Amino acid sequence: MSAVIPPLTLDSIRSVPKVLLHDHLDGGLRPETVIELAEAVGYDALPSTDVEELGHWFRDAADSGSLESYLETFAHTCGVMQTEEALVRVAAECAEDLAADGVVYAEVRYAPELFAERGLSLDAVVQAVQTGFAEGERRAADQGKNIRMGTLLCAMRQHARAQEIAEVAVRYRDAGVVGFDIAGPEAGFPPTRNLDAFEYLRTNNAHFTIHAGEAFGLASIWEAIQHCGAERLGHGVRIVDDLKSAPDGSVELGRLAAYVRDRRIPLEICPSSNVQTGAATSIADHPIGLLTQLRFRVTVNTDNRLMSGCTVSSEFAALAEAFGYGWADLQWFTINAMKSAFIDFDQRLDLINNVIKPGYAALV
Ligand SMILES: O=c1[nH]cnc2c1ncn2[C@@H]1O[C@H](CO)[C@@H](O)[C@H]1O
Ligand SMILES: [Zn+2]
């Protein structure tokens, strides 16, 4: 008797183990939490206090065609994340929501400086978020869903605090902070503005990724890798600008694209977010199709679940529909992500061999 392979539906995709490397804490709040926290902290600038309306508002406002206006929506999430209680709650719910979606390992990022507007110290911010993640891991485990959370600290490209944030990341490396990133507007803020921070991190054997090749092209990717030493690329989709397709269907890789593929530099691809910021025209036309075909180290991510109304499972489902992906492809994305995580090699291997592979094998 041949094995019955279940069809890919949102529910069946939720049931398999998934790994998420690129997700912003301040882009993943539940709309009802934004409303309740706004009331609790006295934030009165929300565009709506109706749960459904507010959820729509975030998605519509982020659906702007430009990274700069997409980023404006974060004023409202950061606005309500200015107390320790709020940060603990948001972080705990983040871990719970990801676990409910079947994510078994997640690296969630945020910029501590954005939560210090009402006087919290950077240390207090980091400690509150770690407390929340641990609480969320516990609650998820109680529901039979095991998730491990890793933290990435971001510095904002437009502020000049990268060195300071990098030092915080290294200080909390044994308390769950597994790496560093720079985020914010890409055009006009090349990653080389923060060379001191990247050199500090490399000197300390610390891991970092850089948002590059989202709203700006190859120059940004080249700087991130060759000048800054990024291990992974946040988005990195514009690497397709270094690919030449011939009429016979063959594709020629430029030197940078070849370098990225040869060195297996992970691409943290976020399909829905890219459509909203204009980095891709649609899911069906998203460069992830070609990059996957060419066997770049592609990973699939949410970026901002609130702004895109997405989960890892819904991103997988959308890609499966657009490109005809099956379970083997979803497992490939998942193992790519696990291999690219910033935790120890033996722990990555353990999750691959003891959680991910058995999870997909159990399907048939
Ligand atoms: O896709 C993105 N590109 C660049 N920056 C982003 C993106 N999504 C969110 N942020 C920025 O990262 C900060 C820390 O989490 C957010 O506040 C937002 O400003
Ligand atoms: Zn991002």
**Strand 267-269 with 232-235, pairing:** parallel
Q: What is the dihedral of CA 120, 123, 125, 128, to 10 degrees?
A: -120
Number of other CB atoms surrounding residue 44 within 10 Å: 9
Residues 297-306 pLDDT 10s = 999 999 999 9
Burial class (CB in 10 A: 0-12, 13-18, 19+), 118: exposed
Phi, psi of 234 (to 5 degrees): -70, 115
Mean pLDDT (whole number) for 167-192 = 95
Q: Give the number of the atom of ligand 1 that is nearest the alpha carbon of residue 24.
A: 15
In a domain? residue 13:
no
In a domain? residue 238:
yes
- Is pLDDT above 70 for 41? yes
Instruction: Note whether 253 and 243 are within 8 A (CB).
Output: yes
Residues 297-345 pLDDT 10s = 999 999 999 999 999 999 999 999 999 999 999 999 999 999 999 999 9
For residue 234, the SS3 value is strand
- Is pLDDT above 60 for 161? yes
Q: Residue 268: CB within 6 Å of ligand 1?
A: no
- Per-chain residues with Cβ under 5 A from ion ligand 2: 303
Instruction: State the Cα–Cα distance between residues 214 and 218, nearest whole angstrom.
Output: 10
Instruction: State the Cα–Cα distance between residues 359 and 353, nearest whole angstrom.
Output: 10
Burial class (CB in 10 A: 0-12, 13-18, 19+), 171: middle
Instruction: State the Cα–Cα distance between residues 242 and 189, nearest whole angstrom.
Output: 21
20 beta partners: 106
243 beta partners: 253
In a domain? residue 9:
no
What is the 326 CA–ligand 2 centroid distance (Å)?
A: 26
Q: Which of 93, 113, 137, 214 is catalytic?
A: 214
Instruction: Note whether 206 and 179 are within 8 A (CB).
Output: yes
Q: pLDDT > 90: what percent of the chain?
A: 95
- Is pLDDT above 80 for 196? yes
Q: Which among 131, 136, 129, 126 has a CA at the least distance from the CA of 98?
A: 136
> What's the CATH number where 136 sits?
3.20.20.140
303 assigned to a ligand binding site = yes
The secondary structure of 96-150 as a DSSP string is HHHHHTTEEEEEEEE-GGGG-TTS--HHHHHHHHHHHHHHHHHHHHHTT---EEE
Ligand 1 pocket test, candidate residues 34, 58, 68, 71, most atoms within 8 A of CB: 71
Task: Give the pLDDT of residue 120.
Answer: 98
Q: pLDDT > 70: what percent of the chain?
A: 99
97 assigned to a ligand binding site = no
In a domain? residue 4:
no
- Is pLDDT above 90 for 294? yes
Q: Using CA of residue 72, residue 67, residue 263, residue 299, what is the dihedral sign?
A: positive
- The first and second tokens of residue 346, run together, are 């033996």
- The first and second tokens of residue 278, run together, are 């204009």
Domain total of the chain: 1
In a domain? residue 118:
yes
Instruction: State the Cα–Cα distance between residues 276 and 162, nearest whole angstrom.
Output: 27
Domain membership of residue 71 as a residue range: 18-361
pLDDT band at residue 180, thresholds of 50, 70 and 90? very high
Instruction: Note whether 335 and 361 are within 8 A (CB).
Output: no
In a domain? residue 103:
yes
What is the 256 CA–ligand 1 centroid distance (Å)?
A: 25
What is the 71 CA–ligand 1 centroid distance (Å)?
A: 6
- The first and second tokens of residue 340, run together, are 């690219």
In a domain? residue 3:
no
Instruction: Note whether 166 and 197 are within 8 A (CB).
Output: yes
Mean pLDDT (whole number) for 244-251 = 93
Task: Give the pLDDT of residue 186.
Answer: 87
DSSP-derived secondary structure letter, 83: S
pLDDT band at residue 2, thresholds of 50, 70 and 90? low
- Is 268 among the residues known to form the active site? no
| Residue type, position 92, single letter | A
What is the 130 CA–ligand 2 centroid distance (Å)?
A: 20
Q: Give the residue carrying structure tokens 């990098």.
A: 166
Ligand 1 pocket test, candidate residues 21, 22, 24, 114, most atoms within 8 A of CB: 24
Residues 55-77 pLDDT 10s = 999 999 999 899 999 999 999 99
Instruction: State the Cα–Cα distance between residues 317 and 7, nearest whole angstrom.
Output: 11
- The first and second tokens of residue 243, run together, are 């690919």
Residues 111-151 pLDDT 10s = 999 999 999 999 999 999 999 999 999 999 999 999 999 99
In a domain? residue 1:
no
- Is pLDDT above 60 for 1? no
Instruction: Note whether 91 and 138 are within 8 A (CB).
Output: no
Q: Residue 114: CB within 6 Å of ligand 1?
A: yes
